[in-house]
C-alpha cells in the first residue's frame, strides 16, 4: 500500500499524540492474579500464558463486556508459539508481578494466537504498520473497550531503555490520557480509523483485463533481484515461494535463471537447516546466514513447490535432493501421530548447561548425532487447516514429479484426516484448527480456498469425490465470504466484531485468499460440470482485481501464476474489456 507523505504524517502525529507524556500513576500492592482463562484453550501458545500473573482473557464477548462494564481500555497481545521475541516479552513482562499489577488494574488484557485468528492479527498489524511504519511480533495494542486501536507496536521492554519506551511507562501514559480525556481519545480513534479504512480500501477506477501484467510482474522482480546473494529486496528476508514460482513459469530464460540461482543460494545458506532439512522462518541479513530459527509448516509446503518446479525445469538433482530432504524433515519432525502436521517448531530449545531456553541452540549442533543429545525445540502441535491443505497439494505434486506413489498415498491419508476432523459433514462447515481431538474456530476464506485447491489436486489421481468436495467448499466459500457488490473474497466473516473487514489481494510469504481463489476458479471453469457458474464468478473477481494490481502486479505472484489462463478461459470478457 502506498501513502502520501501528508497522510502518513497525520497518522503518525495522532499516534504520537496518544503517547504524549503524562505522569505515571502509582499502583496498589495487589496480589497477582492468573491467566487461568487460557488454560482450557486449544492453542498451545495461549496455554503457555495460563500461569502468568496477568489476568488474561481470550478474545471474545466476555472480555469486551468486562471492559465496557468497568470502563477500561483493552491491552491486546498477539503472538504465536514459535516466536522468539514473543517468549522474550513473556518472560520479561508478562511474568513480572509489577507489570501484571498495572495491566490487571488499568486494562482488560487479551491474548490472541495469530495462527488461530489471522483476521484479528491482520487488522491490528495493518494499524501498527500504517501508524509506526513497521510491524512485527509480538504485536502489542492498546485499544478502546470496543477494540478500536489507539496505540500499537511490536516488542516492548519492561522498562524504558536505550531509547525504547518501556511497557510499564507507556501503559501509564495511555491510562492517564484515558482517565483525563476519554471523549477526545474516542473521537481521535474514530477519525484515525476512518482514514485507515480509506487507505486499506481506496476507490479505484474500473480497468480492463490486461494479460501483460504477468510480464510486468516478472520484470519488476528482476529489478529487485540481488544477484550477489539471491532473493529480492533488503533484509530481513523471508523464503518466499510465490516470486520464485512465477519466475519458473517458463523452463528457460533469464527469469528462470534468477529463480534457480536464488534457490541454490538460499538452500546453501543458514536459513536452510543443512543437517535436518527445512527452512527457518526468516534471515536478518541479505546473505541468508543469520536466521530466526522457528520452522513453519507453511514455509515447508510452499518452498517445496519451488524446489520441485526447479527440478522439473532444470533436471538438476540438487533441487530434487533438497525437496526430498525437506519432505523427510516434515514427515520426521512435523507429522502428528493422529494425523495432520504440526503448525511449527519453536525457535527456542532448552540449554542443558544453563537450564534456560535459548534461541537456535538445537540447530547449532555440528552433526545429527550431536543434535540427538539435545532437547528438541517444542512443537506447536495444533493442526492449521490451510497450511495442512497446502502440504497435501505439495505432496501430490511431489508424487507426480518424483514418481513416488507413497507421497500420493500420504496426501490422500492426510486429506481424509482433515475432512474427518476439521469439517462438519452435516453443515459443510470447515474449521480453522484442530488439536487433541478438539476442533476450534470457524474456518476463514483462506482455509476454504486451500481445501478447494487440495481437493482439485487430488481429483485427477484419487477420483470424482474430490471434485465434488472442491465444488461444495467453493460454493460454501462464496456463501460466506463473497462480496456481491464488487467481487472478490473477504477473509473473515461479516459477523465478526472487528473494526475492519479485509479483502486482501496482495500475497505475503503465504498466498492471499484472492490469489488462491483465482486459481481455483480457473480450474473449476475447466473441469466442473457447472463451469459457466464458476467462469462468471471468475470474471467478476478479475474485474475487481485488475485495477488493484495494475501498478504493482508483483504483489500478487500467486495470482499471476494463473493470469494467462484467465485470458484463455474468458476471451469474451477480455475482448469486451479491451474494446472500451
Residue 301 falls within a domain, yes or no?
yes
Q: In what order do the strands lie in the sheet with 379-380?
A: 295-296, 344-345, 379-380
Q: Which residues pair with 77 in a beta bridge?
A: 111, 140
Same domain, yes or no: 188 and 240: no
Residue 320 inside a domain? The answer is yes
Answer yes or no: do 66 and 183 share one domain.
yes
pLDDT < 50 positions in the chain: 1-14, 16-33, 573-580
| Domain-embedded: residue 111 | yes
Same domain, 284 and 185: no
Q: Are residues 251 and 186 part of one domain?
A: no
Do residue 257 and residue 156 come from a single domain?
no
Please write the tens of the pLDDT for every residue from 95-152.
Answer: 999 999 999 999 999 999 999 999 999 999 999 998 888 899 999 999 999 999 999 9
DSSP collapsed to 3 states, 515-550: HHHHHHHHHHHHHCCCHHHHHHHHHHHHHHHHHHHC
Same domain, 124 and 26: yes
Q: Which of 341, 340, 360 has the alpha carbon at shortest distance from 349?
A: 360
Q: Is 96 exposed, middle or buried (0-12, 13-18, 19+ CB in 10 A)?
A: buried
Q: Name the pairing type of β-strands 429-435 and 383-384.
A: antiparallel
Residue 194 and residue 260 in one domain: no
* Claim to verify: residue 270 and residue 194 sit in the same structural domain: no
* Domain stop point among 200, 224, 252: 200
Neighbouring residues of 290: CB distance < 8 A, sequence distance ≥ 6: 270, 283, 284
**Are 259 and 244 contacting, i.e. CB atoms less than 8 angstroms apart?**
yes
pTM: 0.92
C-alpha–C-alpha distance, residues 538 and 477, integer Å:
14
Q: Determine the Cα–Cα distance for residues 257 and 245; give it in Å rounded to an integer.
A: 12
Domain boundary among 179, 200, 221: 200
The rounded distance, in Å, linking the Cα atoms of 551 and 565 is 21
Whether 165 and 275 map to the same domain: the answer is: no
Domain boundary among 325, 352, 379: 379
Same domain? 246 vs 195: no
Which CATH number characterizes residue 178's domain? 3.40.30.10
Q: Identify whether 314 is part of a domain.
A: yes
**What three-state secondary structure class fits 384?**
strand
pLDDT at 34: 59
Q: In terms of residue numbers, what domain contains 103?
A: 5-200
Number of domains in the chain: 2
> Are 167 and 277 in the same domain?
no
pLDDT at residue 263 in the model = 98
Amino acid at each position: 500500500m502506498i501513502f502520501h507523505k501528508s497522510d502518513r504524517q497525520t497518522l503518525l502525529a495522532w499516534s504520537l499524540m496518544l503517547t504524549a507524556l503524562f505522569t505515571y500513576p502509582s499502583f496498589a500492592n495487589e496480589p497477582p492474579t492468573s491467566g487461568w482463562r487460557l488454560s482450557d484453550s486449544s492453542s498451545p501458545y495461549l496455554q503457555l500464558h495460563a500461569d502468568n500473573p496477568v489476568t488474561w482473557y481470550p478474545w471474545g464477548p466476555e472480555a469486551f463486556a468486562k471492559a465496557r462494564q468497568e470502563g477500561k481500555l483493552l491491552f491486546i497481545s498477539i503472538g504465536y508459539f514459535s516466536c522468539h521475541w514473543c517468549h522474550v516479552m513473556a518472560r520479561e513482562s508478562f511474568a513480572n508481578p509489577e507489570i501484571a499489577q498495572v495491566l490487571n488494574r488499568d486494562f482488560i488484557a487479551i491474548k490472541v494466537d495469530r495462527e488461530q485468528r489471522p483476521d484479528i492479527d491482520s487488522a491490528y498489524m495493518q494499524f501498527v504498520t500504517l501508524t509506526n511504519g513497521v510491524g512485527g511480533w509480538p504485536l502489542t495494542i492498546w485499544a478502546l473497550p470496543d477494540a478500536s486501536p489507539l496505540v500499537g507496536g511490536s516488542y516492548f521492554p519492561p522498562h524504558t531503555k536505550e531509547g525504547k519506551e518501556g511497557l510499564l511507562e507507556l501503559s501509564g501514559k495511555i491510562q492517564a490520557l484515558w482517565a483525563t480525556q476519554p471523549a477526545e481519545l474516542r473521537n481521535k480513534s474514530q477519525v484515525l480509523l476512518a482514514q485507515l479504512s480509506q487507505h486499506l480500501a481506496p476507490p479505484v477506477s474500473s480497468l480492463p483485463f490486461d494479460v501483460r501484467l504477468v510480464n510486468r510482474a516478472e520484470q519488476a522482480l528482476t529489478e529487485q533481484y540481488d544477484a550477489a546473494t539471491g532473493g529480492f529486496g533488503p533484509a530481513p528476508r523471508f523464503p518466499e515461494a510465490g516470486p520464485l514460482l512465477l519466475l519458473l513459469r517458463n523452463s528457460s530464460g533469464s527469469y528462470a535463471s534468477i529463480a534457480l540461482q536464488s534457490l541454490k543460494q538460499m538452500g546453501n545458506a543458514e536459513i536452510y537447516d543443512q543437517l535436518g532439512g527445512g527452512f527457518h522462518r526468516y534471515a536478518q541479513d541479505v546473505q541468508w546466514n543469520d536466521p530466526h530459527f522457528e520452522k513453519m509448516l507453511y514455509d515447508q509446503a510452499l518452498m517445496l513447490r519451488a524446489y520441485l518446479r526447479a527440478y522439473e525445469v532444470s533436471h538438476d538433482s540438487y533441487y530434487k535432493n533438497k525437496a526430498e530432504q525437506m519432505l523427510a524433515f516434515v514427515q520426521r519432525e512435523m507429522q502428528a501421530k493422529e494425523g495432520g502436521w504440526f503448525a511449527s517448531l519453536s525457535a527456542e530449545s532448552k540449554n542443558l548447561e544453563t537450564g534456560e531456553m535459548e534461541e537456535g541452540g538445537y540447530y547449532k549442533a555440528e552433526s545429527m548425532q550431536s543434535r540427538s543429545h539435545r532437547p528438541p525445540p517444542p512443537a506447536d502441535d495444533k493442526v492449521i487447516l490451510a497450511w495442512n491443505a497446502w502440504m497435501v497439494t505439495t505432496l501430490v505434486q511431489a508424487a507426480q514429479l518424483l514418481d513416488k506413489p507413497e507421497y500420493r498415498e500420504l496426501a490422500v491419508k492426510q486429506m481424509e484426516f482433515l475432512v474427518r476432523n476439521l469439517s462438519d459433514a452435516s453443515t459443510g462447515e470447515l474449521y480453522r484448527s484442530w488439536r487433541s481431538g478438539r476442533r476450534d474456530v470457524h474456518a476463514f476464506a483462506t482455509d476454504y480456498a486451500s481445501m478447494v485447491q487440495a481437493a482439485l489436486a487430488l481429483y485427477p489421481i484419487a477420483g470424482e469425490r474430490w471434485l465434488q468436495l472442491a465444488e461444495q467448499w467453493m460454493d460454501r466459500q462464496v456463501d460466506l465470504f463473497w462480496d456481491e457488490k464488487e467481487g472478490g473474497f473477504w477473509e473473515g466473516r461479516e459477523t465478526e466484531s472487528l473494526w475492519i473487514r479485509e479483502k486482501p489481494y496482495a500475497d505475503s510469504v503465504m498466498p492471499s485468499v484472492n490469489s488462491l481463489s483465482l486459481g481455483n476458479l480457473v480450474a473449476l471453469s475447466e473441469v466442473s460440470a457447472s463451469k459457466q457458474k464458476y467462469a462468471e464468478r471468475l470474471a467478476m473477481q478479475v474485474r475487481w482485481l485488475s485495477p488493484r494490481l495494475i501498478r504493482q502486479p508483483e504483489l500478487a505472484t500467486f495470482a499471476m501464476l494463473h493470469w494467462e489462463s484467465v485470458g484463455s478461459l474468458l476471451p469474451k470478457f477480455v475482448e469486451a474489456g479491451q474494446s472500451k
